[in-house]
């Protein structure tokens, strides 16, 4: 009798283990799925936390001693002098360049006043610093957006140019929020030729200066220009 009881207990235990095997696999599967979800959440939070990170190229510009208000004013004077110069017949085509330090100085100290004066638009005051860096692979432009939780750098790697209709063109190659890359399509929705305007300056004396081409060089933007009679 005792032998039969022992056999029955062993058989029942073995059968129980077999019947619990599917349940164990389901439990392990659920635990694995939970671990993956937790890891995904941690990764997502880590990625989101980088939205407030400052990209390395932005920090490097702080060490430049030439970013001064005076440099920005001098840049305006140089541009005005070059554009209004009387050019003899045969010398209508000319070239000019703006270096990175001059441009950043102007952006830091003169952009807001210029935008408010020319457009009566105060939206520019919602931004902090605005900076660029230039190399032979293109132009990097960024703006510091101030918000309730601090600030975030929004920036993009772009190519500037002009088209046959005399308008500025722009190609957004990469776009970022902080150190996190975002689809460049978001930037392309706003940075269009229609929004950029004409690539020309009316001098108001019967002449116009047309920007025929733009090229990113070694820490400077190079321009091909033509002074001609207004149409």
pLDDT tens digits for 153-193?
888 888 888 888 888 888 888 888 887 888 777 666 666 65
Least trusted range by pLDDT, from 28-42, 73-87, 147-161: 28-42
65/173 same-domain check = yes
Q: Are residues 22 and 100 in the same domain?
A: no
Domain check: are 8 and 108 in the same one?
A: no
Number of domains in the chain: 2
Last residue of a domain, one of 10, 32, 52: 52
Lowest mean pLDDT among 34-43, 55-64, 151-160: 34-43
Assess whether 62 and 34 both reside in one domain. Answer: no
Residue that is last in its domain, among 32, 52, 72:
52
Whose structure tokens read 């056999």? 7
Position 222 scores a pLDDT of 92
Q: Are residues 179 and 198 both part of a single domain? A: yes
Question: pTM for this one?
Answer: 0.69
Q: Are residues 14 and 111 in the same domain?
A: no
Strand residues in the chain grouped as ranges (E): 93-99, 127-135, 138-147, 150-162, 168-177, 180-182, 200-202, 207-216, 220-229
Q: Whole domain around residue 37: which residue ranges?
A: 2-52
Q: Which residues have CB under 8 Å from 218's CB, separation 6+?
A: 134, 135, 136
Residues 115 and 138 in one domain: yes
Determine the pLDDT at residue 92.
Answer: 93
Residues 6+ apart with CB under 8 A from 66: 101, 102, 105
Nearest-angstrom CA–CA distance, 38 and 49: 16
Give the integer Cα–Cα distance in Å for 75 and 80.
Answer: 9
pLDDT reported for residue 9: 39
Residues 62, 40 share a domain: no
pLDDT of 13 over the 50 cut: no
Say if residue 72 is in the same domain as residue 40: no
Q: Which of 50-59, 68-77, 115-124, 221-230 has the highest mean pLDDT?
A: 221-230
Closest Cα to residue 76, out of 105, 112, 100? 105
Average pLDDT score over residue span 84-91: 90
pLDDT at residue number 6: 41
Same domain flag for 132 and 218: yes
* β-sheet bridge partners, residue 209: 201, 227
pLDDT one-digit tens code per residue, 94-151: 999 998 888 888 888 877 777 777 666 666 667 788 889 998 778 998 888 877 777 7
Residues 47 and 64 in one domain: no
Q: How confident is the model at residue 210 (pLDDT cuts 50, 70, 90)?
A: very high
pLDDT given for residue 115 in this prediction: 72
- 112 and 78, same domain (yes or no): yes
Give the pLDDT score at 122: 63
Beta bridge partners of 169: 161
């Amino acid at each position: 009798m005792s032998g039969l009881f022992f056999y029955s207990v062993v058989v029942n235990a073995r059968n129980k283990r077999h019947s619990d095997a599917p349940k164990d696999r389901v439990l392990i599967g659920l635990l694995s799925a939970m671990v993956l979800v937790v890891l995904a959440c941690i990764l997502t939070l880590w990625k989101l936390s980088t939205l407030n990170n400052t990209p390395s190229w932005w920090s490097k510009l702080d060490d430049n001693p030439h970013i001064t208000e005076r440099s920005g004013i001098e840049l305006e004077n140089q541009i005005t002098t070059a554009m209004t110069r009387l050019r003899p017949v045969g010398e209508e085509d000319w070239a000019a360049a703006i270096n990175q330090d001059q441009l950043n100085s102007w952006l830091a100290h003169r952009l807001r006043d210029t935008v408010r004066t020319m457009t009566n638009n105060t939206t520019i005051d919602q931004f902090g610093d605005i900076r660029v860096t230039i190399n032979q692979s293109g132009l990097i432009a960024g703006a510091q957006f101030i918000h309730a939780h601090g600030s975030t750098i929004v920036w993009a790697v772009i190519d500037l140019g002009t088209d046959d209709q005399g308008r500025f063109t722009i190609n957004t190659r990469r776009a970022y929020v902080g150190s996190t890359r975002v689809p460049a399509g978001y930037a392309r929705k706003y940075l269009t030729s229609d929004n950029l305007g004409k690539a020309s300056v009316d001098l108001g004396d019967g002449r116009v200066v047309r920007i025929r081409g733009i090229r990113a060089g070694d820490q400077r933007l190079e321009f091909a220009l033509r002074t001609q009679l207004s149409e």
